[in-house]
Amino acid sequence: MTFKAAAIQMCSGVDPVKNAADMARLVREAAAKGAVYVQTPEMTGAVQKDRAGLRAVLRDEADDVIVKTAAELAQELGIHVHVGSTAIALDDGKIANRGFLFGPDGKLLSRYDKIHMFDVDLDNGESWRESAVYRPGSEARIVSLPFAELGFSICYDVRFPQLFRAQAVAGAEVMTVPAAFTRQTGEAHWEILLRARAIENGMFVIAAAQAGRHEDGRETFGHSMIIDPWGVILASAGGTGEAVLIAEIDIAAVKSAHDKIPNLKNAREFSLERIATPAAGGVAA
């Protein structure tokens, strides 16, 4: 009922080959510390805001260096390796923001394409339009591992509680939130969103993040975390640089949280009615 999980914090650059080497070093460190499940951040392969630069290093899934390296690491170390996400070239000219989970034999267990696109306009002129480049996913996934029922999300997905609730109701015990949060949004919301998703669903949350100032000039928030079903932070990292977080995951804590506060079981269907009121100075009928 227990296992060691790791969240790998990175500061990926624009070169996928270098990033793959950094990932391999950190995954090996996590495995040496006893982790049997290791998660890397969103965009492990390249953090590159220049579209032409990103397309120049893009490969399809079969030829992607991050995918190949992760599969080899999983088999070599006999562990589960979860690439939080990396950019994958698609046939229609779009890109998938895609996560991969490999089993201890190196075989692919699941893919997950980020569902919710980060199309936002922030303060100080910061603006992002993921939908202009990436093709959104449309399918949530739960994978039954020997030690837990694992659910998937990526970064901006954390702001959509219905995705987490659907997976919790379907039996997910651990939710994954690999991310590359901006510093601005991370400072405001990162920890509270992760802890809220854990608490409201009574599940573990493992969130490996990008951290620091990247080669392309972007700055990400970091603070990778592993959180238990009661909202307790079991492990956390700082806001810059690499880190390997390790936490002991006791799946019995999921049932304990659900027994204490059975909100999944107590949820009820309801209708919504909008009540129109008279305009100011008007007379009610």
Q: Do 211 and 218 touch, CB atoms closer than 8 A? A: no
Q: Do 102 and 108 touch, CB atoms closer than 8 A? A: yes
Q: Is 155 part of the annotated catalytic residue set? A: yes
| Domain at 2-265, CATH from 3.40.30.10, 3.30.930.10, 3.60.110.10, 3.20.20.140 | 3.60.110.10
Measured distance CA(270)–CA(226) in Å, rounded: 34
Of the residues 114, 130, 149, 173, which is catalytic? 114
Of the residues 4, 149, 155, 173, which is catalytic? 155
What is the tens place of the pLDDT at every residue in 220-268?
999 999 999 999 999 999 999 999 999 999 999 999 999 999 999 999 9
Q: Is 114 part of the annotated catalytic residue set? A: yes
What is the tens place of the pLDDT at every residue in 32-42?
999 999 999 99
DSSP states along 7-24: EEEB---S-HHHHHHHHH
What is the tens place of the pLDDT at every residue in 61-116?
999 999 999 999 999 999 999 999 999 999 888 899 999 999 999 999 999 999 99
